[in-house]
Chain A
Amino acid sequence: MHPAFSVIFLTTFIGAAQGLFLALFTAQSYAAFKLLPQPDSQAFYGWGSLLALALLALGLGASFFHLGHPERAWRTATKWRTSWLSREVIVLPAFMGVVFLYGLAHWLDWHPVLVTLPSGLPVDPTAVLGVVGTVLAFALFVCTAMIYACLKFLAEWHSPLTVANYILLGSASGFTLAAAFAALAAPELVGFLAGWAAIITALGLISRAASLFRNARLKPKSSLRTAIGVKHPRIVQKAQGFMGGSFNTREFFHGRTVAVLRVVKWGFLMGVFVVPLLLLGFGLRGSAEVLSLAFAVQYSGLLAERWFFFAQANHPQNLYYQSIA
């Protein structure tokens, strides 16, 4: 497939935002159980939510560049019964709304006790919004990943590993961002968040490596024999019906050499996993510069990872477009 930068930015921005929100609410949950010191509501949760919201808005903005008719984008909310893309379009604004309310509640220090749990733990609006936001964050990860994983023709994507990767890589970048942000806004949480960022990054390495391993061993189901229905081991295309390009030759081919793909693959393995893990290790003591660098490297790595994710997928329609003339 031809990697579209609009979609690369969309999925990486919102993935980091979802991960950041999950990190904020994880910290809040630990603090509620007195496992962590309570950070400043405005400085950490308020600004953190705003940062997540800004990333979501950037992602949403990027997604419009993918559309031929962005002014009709509202129509995409109609077919949620069958289309994962439609579901994503519904969940994304819902998540943005909850992140906004969550940030607002923290910003206004609005903590009326709604319910007290049997354990004596008070539940305030931020806890309720946090739980709803967490559910929506995971739902959004699943929707985004299933857009790709549900296409059975694209064997590289058609796997539960795709969903695992979107959840883990988005969360990893979000937790790394949260650690860098905490170094400025809530230094007492840096160790906790950087630790989790490293754990999720390591888990992401396992699932992404598993999908690379799987994809390297795929056997294509379709061949020219099934594509044109002629049973012969040697079929060669002599003409694809036109001399210039077409949508089919532009949208489904990345046009890079195998060597470039290999460089990008090793580049993102270093950029998403190895280098950020080292930097997170150095940043455990709370250096904002090191942690910011860790996020910058990991986010850049994720851009390469997403590019590779699209480029690696080999569409069966390409069988029909192997030779110009």
Chain B
Amino acid sequence: MTQLALVIDLNVCVGCHACVTSCKEWNTAGAAGPMGDQNPYGADPTGTFFNRVQTFEVGEFPNTETVHFPKSCLHCEEPPCVPVCPTGASYKRKEDGIVLVDYDKCIGCKYCSWACPYGARELDEQQQVMKKCTLCVDRIYDMSMDEADRKPSCVKACPTSARLFGDIHDPESVVSVAIRESGGYALMPEWGTHPANHYLPRRKTRIKIHEDELERADNPLKVDRQLPKPAMSEPTLDDVTTW
């Protein structure tokens, strides 16, 4: 079994929205398109996107941290949006686990969007069908592209390599290793949807320095009091004068 997924590293995402624009650019012209915009240059523009980058502030000033949070369909392993679809337009592919919408079968009843706790689905106002991330299914199998290009458009666009793409059921894939070794987690685990997409947490590099690493507690000269004890402010020579 294959389950393709994205792993998004919140530690390196800088919130540049390059994934948002490249997603829209590729998909509005691709098999999932068009992704219509309404009133794009007016006061209240709106439109269909498969991917959004949101920003959250964690903590209270001055101990705050800004978290940029890319959000798209998580391609759940137990997708709650699929069984509720009355027409079968929403489906999960057996071969690679991608959750897709058949735009020719969708009646635009919006029920699947109610059944998604993540708000990953958006009704296209122009086409009146439900749309969502396809993991660029029209790119990743396109043999006319270089192998390096057979990745979702957002992954290709990310300037900080915050987005990884691969099969989370293959234990040696780059995504599985990242999830396993860098603390990858799923969103809203309380609903049992088992999202395929995972997020890597913010990480801080800290070193723990113990006091005895600064001061040689076991220095025999010091223990035997054979040398005078210099003041803290004086220069020291290890094993000659001691601290």
Chain A residues with a Cβ under 8 A of chain B: 1, 66-70, 72-73, 75-79, 82-86, 89, 147, 150-154, 221-222, 224, 226-230, 232, 234-248, 251-252, 315-318, 320-321
| Assembled-state Cα–Cα distance A245/B54 (Å) | 14
Residues A222 and B111 in contact in the complex (CB < 8 Å), given A85-B86, A238-B56:
no
| Assembled-state Cα–Cα distance A179/B69 (Å) | 58
> B188 contacts A72, CB within 8 Å?
no
Query: Nearest-CB distance from B203 to chain A (Å)?
Result: 12
> A226 contacts B188, CB within 8 Å?
yes
Residues A69 and B44 in contact in the complex (CB < 8 Å), given A229-B187, A235-B58, A241-B54:
no
> A153 contacts B115, CB within 8 Å?
yes
> A321 contacts B119, CB within 8 Å?
yes
Residue of A72, A232, A320 touching B119 (CB-CB under 8 A):
A320
> B56 contacts A228, CB within 8 Å?
yes
> B188 contacts A86, CB within 8 Å?
no
Residues A82 and B83 in contact in the complex (CB < 8 Å), given A68-B129, A222-B117, A232-B59:
yes
> A75 contacts B105, CB within 8 Å?
yes
| Assembled-state Cα–Cα distance A318/B47 (Å) | 18
> B117 contacts A317, CB within 8 Å?
yes
13 contacts across the A-B interface (CB closer than 8 A): A67-B107, A68-B128, A69-B106, A69-B108, A72-B87, A75-B105, A147-B111, A228-B67, A229-B185, A234-B60, A240-B52, A241-B49, A241-B54
Kindly list chain B residues whose C-beta atoms are within 8 Å of the C-beta of A152: 80, 191
Whether, in the assembled complex, B236 has its beta carbon less than 8 Å from a beta carbon of chain A, the answer is no
Query: Nearest-CB distance from A108 to chain B (Å)?
Result: 36
Kindly list chain B residues whose C-beta atoms are within 8 Å of the C-beta of A320: 54, 71, 118-119
Extra contacts, 7 of them, besides A66-B109, A78-B87 (Cβ < 8 A), are A72-B106, A75-B88, A76-B86, A153-B115, A234-B59, A235-B56, A316-B118
Whether, in the assembled complex, B141 has its beta carbon less than 8 Å from a beta carbon of chain A, the answer is no
B89 (CB) vs chain A CBs: closest residue: A75
Give the dominant DSSP class at B's interface.
Answer: loop
Query: Nearest-CB distance from B19 to chain A (Å)?
Result: 11
- Chain A to chain B: the 7 pairs with minimum beta-carbon distance, closest first: A68-B108, A68-B128, A317-B119, A241-B52, A82-B83, A86-B86, A76-B86
| Assembled-state Cα–Cα distance A243/B52 (Å) | 12
Whether, in the assembled complex, B116 has its beta carbon less than 8 Å from a beta carbon of chain A, the answer is yes
> A229 contacts B199, CB within 8 Å?
yes
> A317 contacts B118, CB within 8 Å?
yes
> A89 contacts B191, CB within 8 Å?
no
Residues A235 and B85 in contact in the complex (CB < 8 Å), given A221-B190, A226-B188, A245-B46:
no
Residues A78 and B190 in contact in the complex (CB < 8 Å), given A229-B185, A317-B119:
no
Query: Nearest-CB distance from A71 to chain B (Å)?
Result: 9
Whether, in the assembled complex, B176 has its beta carbon less than 8 Å from a beta carbon of chain A, the answer is no
Query: Nearest-CB distance from A254 to chain B (Å)?
Result: 14
Query: Nearest-CB distance from B132 to chain A (Å)?
Result: 11
Residues A317 and B87 in contact in the complex (CB < 8 Å), given A75-B105, A152-B191, A229-B185:
no
Whether, in the assembled complex, B201 has its beta carbon less than 8 Å from a beta carbon of chain A, the answer is yes
| Assembled-state Cα–Cα distance A224/B188 (Å) | 9
> B56 contacts A242, CB within 8 Å?
no
Kindly list chain A residues whose C-beta atoms are within 8 Å of the C-beta of B199: 228-229
Which of A69, A76, A77, A222 gathers most chain B CB within 10 Å?
A: A69
Whether, in the assembled complex, B14 has its beta carbon less than 8 Å from a beta carbon of chain A, the answer is no
| Assembled-state Cα–Cα distance A256/B199 (Å) | 34
B68-108 CB contacts (< 8 Å) to partner A: 69, 71, 80, 82-89, 105-108
Whether, in the assembled complex, B182 has its beta carbon less than 8 Å from a beta carbon of chain A, the answer is no
